[in-house]
Amino acid sequence: MSTTAPASRTSPFWPAAVADAVAVLVFTVVGIASHDGSLVAALGRVVWPFALAAAIGWAVSRAWRDPARPWPTGVIVWAVTVLGGLALRGLTGGGLAWSFALVTAIFLAITMLGWRALVAGIRRGQARAAES
């Protein structure tokens, strides 16, 4: 039996924050490129509701504790980002079509939950390897 303490289950804060920020940024850039065309003019107008909502999601879930956990951290950050971003966009005069809401939820789920699922899989593999 090993006397060493188990490895920490927490992940570094900054890489996780950057991963979520990149997910939001890519979502908005792809959307602008697909619809608006003028990236420079539209970026600030489109990205801020979702970036602010993601920051709120981090605060609500206290994601800094273990930002790579898919459940509940990732799901809370994702849900607040989607719902909060859509609400802020709607309240400030941005369009809210059901198709946009659906694409938003799916794209951000794939990206924000996807990287967390990848990290969880790596963690499980490392834990199994350590047990062997």
Task: Show Cβ contacts of residue 87 under 8 Å, excluding neighbours closer than 6 positions.
Answer: 49, 53
Give the side-chain half-sphere CA count within 13 A for 54.
Answer: 25
Instruction: Tell me the average confidence (pLDDT) per consecutive run of 10 residues in the chain, 132 residues long.
Output: 43 89 96 79 88 98 95 98 97 90 97 97 93 88
**Structural contact between residues 61 and 73, judged by C-beta atoms closer than 8 angstroms:** yes
For 94, counting Cβ atoms within 10 Å of its Cβ (0-12 exposed, 13-18 middle, 19+ buried), the class is middle
Contact of 50 with 81, CB cutoff 8 Å: yes
**pLDDT tens track for 50-86:** 999 999 999 999 999 999 999 999 999 999 999 999 9
